[in-house]
Chain A
Amino acid sequence: NAGVMQNPRHLVRRRGQEARLRCSPMKGHSHVYWYRQLPEEGLKFMVYLQKENIIDESGMPKERFSAEFPKEGPSILRIQQVVRGDSAAYFCASSPGRGSEKLFFGSGTQLSVL
């Protein structure tokens, strides 16, 4: 049973480009959470999605960031017009049902903006 799969593991972008981060939840899990971890900081909640629905996006920056979890395929975190401050580790986690009991995390995507 594969765990939470994130890709790419490392992503390098120049300022102004777009970054697309993918997350496939564990088999049987229909709830996905995205977290961001800046250097020397803790994990910050960004968004919680269920298939085709955004449940809680209170942690998402107001501009340039968007997330989706379509009926088919992985969840996507999209960052438009990246800036250096977007450089961070982005972790995806999944759970089988509502509520965040026992989240299982993917290995993360390390985004570096040049």
Chain B
Amino acid sequence: RKEVEQDPGPFNVPEGATVAFNCTYSNSASQSFFWYRQDCRKEPKLLMSVYSSGNEDGRFTAQLNRASQYISLLIRDSKLSDSATYLCAVTRGSSGDKLTFGTGTRLAVRP
């Protein structure tokens, strides 16, 4: 079983739609969780950290469910510019631990 798993998609949605992605992780010792965005094989860019209490940044909301070991990303009012691959990443959070990425979920927003 992969350490971090995501549905590869693609998710094809119209502008204005609400779309949600899930990401499951297998290591219960994981401590820190992130969503990154990657455009067309460019470098990944941090979208948001994911906290136990959940967090929101504009149209984006991230949630963490430790009991079921998954994190989610909700995008409201989708824009064409949201089209990208969304990568979840986890780390055990201990000193020197690396980020482990999922393979990403592709989102295509159509006019």
Which residues of A come within 8 Å of B, CB atoms?
33, 35, 37, 41-45, 48, 55-56, 59, 89, 91, 98-108, 110
Contacts and interface: CB of A to CB of B under 8 A. Distances in A.
Categorize the interface residue count of chain B.
20 to 34
Nearest to B93: A99
B44 interface: yes
Interface in B18-69: 32, 34, 41-46, 49
Contacts of A107: 42-43
A89 B98 contact: no
Contact of A103 (B41, B42, B93, B99): B99
A99 B95 contact: yes
B36 to A, nearest CB: 8
Interface stretch (B9-17, B71-79, B101-109): B101-109
B24 to A, nearest CB: 14
A100 B104 contact: no
Contacts of B104: 42
A105 B43 contact: yes
Contact of B99 (A55, A89, A98, A100): A100
B46 A102 contact: yes
Interface of B: 32, 34, 41-46, 49, 87, 91, 93-104
A44 B3 CA distance: 12
Contacts of A42: 87, 101-104
A102 B95 CA distance: 14
Contacts of B98: 33, 45, 48, 56, 59, 100
B44 A48 contact: no
Given A41-B103, A42-B87, A42-B102, A91 B96 contact: no
Given A42-B101, A99-B95, A100-B97, 4 more contacts: A33-B98, A102-B46, A107-B43, A108-B42
